């Protein structure tokens, strides 16, 4: 194991990142990772808490959150412990700025690599460079005096929408499962196994937004679910992706598909409509995903509805299935499922009219679409 040790606290540019010459004694008995500082030269024994943070498989920070006192001095030891060869960074931000900073990081595009995907943004209090697997960074942090929930996030393209956590500075922790400042996988604790289906991987995929998620289902099917557009983009069968260039470099290269997709969604065709089949396309916002036993479940907001969409293998028959759950739809829901010559859609409930499926709110609460094609095998 090679370890790169970086001491970046003072270089991070923010006053908050620096330890003042005289440190207040920090009470730290609450944390198991609390470590007394070695003997100090001063008359009083100074104690600085060390918080160990890991980047884990499945785009997670561990721990996903911790408490700190406003003004407290901390040492953050951040290690990339991801076994899937993914690079990550760590940015600590001012409250409420995560999405803005993530968006700006994505907008760096070709310049992102050189900057370690860290944009120039005044909300960034502290950050590490991009850490390769086993990479380690140690940061000094003086927790801001302003009480608040300070998000931390990895801004590697696509990661920022699911890979984040928070420091609770003077704010009590809510229940883990109900924490609005954490991604859903924080409470679930599922780790995507390397090479073991099913799993999902954030990579740059062809013909998708930079926030694409490559999904490997149990069996031989693979799919591209686009978190930027909140919809399934295409499916292919066989080996997963060749991301060797992606892993070897800094992740800015496109990954190659192992086979030609047997199905592709039309461009700019968001499938869901509410109220009427031809109503305007609802605004979609990705909320995160969790890995379940059979496949990933994506969560997003479409207009006023919250949608959960699970991509699943189709057992014993060619194709794949989408289990869609739309909570509390206020009126009829329409799913546009444009087929091509080789593709067929079926649904467990609802009424088809051509390629449009009409669902009552009750039916929309839980329905399963099957997508099959003459171009794939069971
Ligand atoms: Cu990351």
CATH of the domain at 49: 2.60.40.420
* Residues 210, 179 share a domain: no
Tell me the average pLDDT across 104-126: 94
**Does some domain include residue 192?**
no
Q: Tell me the pairing of strands 333-336 and 241-242.
A: unpaired
Residues 266 and 143 in one domain: no
pLDDT of residue 7: 35
Question: In this predicted structure, which of 18-27, 44-53, 212-221, 331-340 has the lowest mean pLDDT?
Answer: 18-27
Distance from Cα 164 to the centre of ligand 1, integer Å: 9
Centre of ligand 1 to C-alpha 112, Å, is 13
**Percent of the chain scoring above 70 in pLDDT:** 81
Clarify whether residues 221 and 355 are in a common domain: yes
194 domain residue, yes or no? no
Answer yes or no: do 361 and 240 share one domain.
yes
Residue range 314-342: mean pLDDT, rounded:
91
Q: Of 183, 208, 238, which residue is a domain's last?
A: 183
DSSP state of 92: E
Whether residue 176 lies inside any domain: the answer is yes
Rounded distance from Cα 301 to ligand 1 centre (Å) = 23
pLDDT for residue 44 is more than 60: no
Residue 262 has pLDDT above 60, yes or no: yes
3-state SS of 160-202? HHCCEEEEEECCCCCCHHHCCCCCCHHHHCCCCCCCCCCEEEE
Report how far ligand 1's centroid is from the alpha carbon of 151 (Å): 14
In a domain, 190, yes or no: no
**Is residue 188 in some structural domain?**
no
> Counting Cβ atoms within 10 Å, is residue 35 exposed (0-12), middle (13-18) or buried (19+)?
middle
Q: Which residues pair with 179 in a beta bridge?
A: none
Is pLDDT at 247 greater than 50 in this prediction?
A: no
The whole-chain average pLDDT of the chain stands at 82
Q: Which residue has the higher pLDDT, 347 or 243?
A: 347
Q: Averaged over 71-86, what is the pLDDT?
A: 87
- Whether 294 and 178 share a structural domain: no
- Compare 220 and 289 and report the one with higher pLDDT: 289
Residue 164's domain comprises 5-183
So what's the pLDDT on residue 242?
60
Question: Which of residues 156, 183, 210 is at a domain's end?
Answer: 183
Q: Residue 117 and residue 157: Cα distance in Å, rounded?
A: 8
In a domain, 193, yes or no: no
Beta bridge partners of 51: 76
Q: What's the rounded mean pLDDT across residues 37-62?
A: 71
Instruction: Establish if 234 belongs to a structural domain.
Output: yes
Q: Which of 28-42, 176-190, 254-268 has the highest mean pLDDT?
A: 254-268
Task: For residue 353, list its beta bridge partners.
Answer: 356
Q: Does position 248 have pLDDT exceeding 50, yes or no? A: no
79 alpha carbon – ligand 1 mean position (Å): 12
54 and 175, same domain (yes or no): yes
* Phi–psi pair at 71, nearest 5 degrees: 85, -5
What is the model's pLDDT at position 185?
A: 67
What does the pLDDT read at residue 312? Answer: 94
> What residues does the ion ligand 1 have nearby, CB within 5 Å?
88, 154, 156, 159, 163
Same domain, 145 and 82: yes
E strand or H helix at 321, and its extent? Answer: strand 320-327
pLDDT for residue 13? 33
Distance 355 CA to ligand 1 centre (A): 38
> Does residue 215 share a domain with residue 158?
no
Residues 112 and 153 in one domain: yes
* Residue 156 and residue 218 in one domain: no
Instruction: Find the Cα–Cα–Cα–Cα dihedral 142, 143, 144, 146, rounded to 10°.
Output: -150
Q: How many domains does the chain have?
A: 2
Instruction: Tell me, yes or no, whether 349 lies in a domain.
Output: yes
State the pTM of this model: 0.53
The set of residues, in sequence order, having a beta carbon less than 8 Å from that of 315 and lying 6+ positions away, is 219
Tell me the pLDDT band of 3, cut-offs 50, 70 and 90: very low
* Residue 244 pLDDT > 80: no
| Lateral strand order in the sheet of 272-274 | 272-274, 333-336, 356-359, 351-353
151 and 284 assigned to the same domain = no
CA of 166 to the centre of ligand 1 (A): 15
Report the pLDDT averaged over residues 205-213: 88
Rounded to the nearest angstrom, the distance between the alpha carbon of 154 and the centre of ligand 1 is 5
Residue after which a domain boundary falls, among 151, 183, 215? 183
Based on the fold, state whether residues 96 and 169 are members of the same structural domain.
yes
């Amino acid at each position: 194991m090679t370890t790169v040790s970086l001491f970046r606290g003072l270089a991070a540019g923010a006053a908050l990142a620096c330890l003042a010459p005289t440190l207040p004694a920090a009470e730290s008995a609450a944390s198991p990772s609390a470590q007394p500082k070695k003997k100090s030269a001063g008359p009083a024994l100074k104690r600085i808490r060390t918080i160990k943070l890991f980047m884990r498989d499945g785009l997670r920070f561990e721990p996903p959150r911790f408490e700190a006192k406003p003004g407290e001095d901390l040492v953050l030891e951040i290690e990339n412990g991801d076994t899937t060869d993914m690079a990550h960074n760590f940015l600590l931000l001012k409250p409420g700025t995560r999405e803005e900073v993530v968006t700006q990081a994505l907008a760096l595009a070709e310049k992102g690599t050189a900057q370690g995907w860290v944009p120039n943004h005044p909300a960034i209090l502290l950050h590490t460079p991009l850490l390769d697997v086993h990479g380690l960074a140690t940061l000094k942090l003086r927790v801001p005096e302003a009480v608040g929930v300070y998000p931390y996030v990895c801004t590697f393209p696509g990661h920022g929408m699911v890979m984040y956590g928070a420091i609770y500075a003077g704010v009590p922790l809510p229940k883990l499962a109900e924490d609005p400042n954490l991604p859903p996988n924080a409470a679930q604790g599922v780790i995507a196994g390397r090479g073991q289906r099913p799993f999902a991987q954030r990579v740059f995929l062809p013909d998708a937004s930079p926030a694409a998620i490559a999904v490997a289902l149990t069996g031989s099917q693979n799919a591209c679910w686009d978190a930027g557009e909140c919809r399934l983009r295409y499916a292919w069968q066989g080996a997963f992706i060749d991301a060797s260039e992606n892993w070897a470099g800094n992740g800015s290269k496109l990954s190659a598909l192992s086979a030609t997709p047997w199905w592709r969604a039309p461009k700019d065709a968001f499938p869901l409509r509410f109220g009427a089949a031809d109503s305007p396309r609802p605004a979609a916002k990705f909320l995160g995903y969790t890995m379940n036993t059979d496949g990933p479940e994506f969560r997003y907001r479409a207009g006023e509805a919250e949608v959960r969409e699970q991509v699943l293998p189709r057992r014993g028959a060619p194709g794949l299935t989408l289990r869609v759950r739309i909570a509390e739809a206020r009126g009829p829901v329409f799913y546009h499922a444009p087929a091509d010559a080789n593709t067929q859609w079926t649904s467990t409930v609802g009424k088809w009219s051509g390629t449009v499926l009409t669902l009552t709110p009750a039916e929309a609460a839980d329905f399963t679409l099957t997508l099959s094609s003459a171009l794939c095998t069971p």
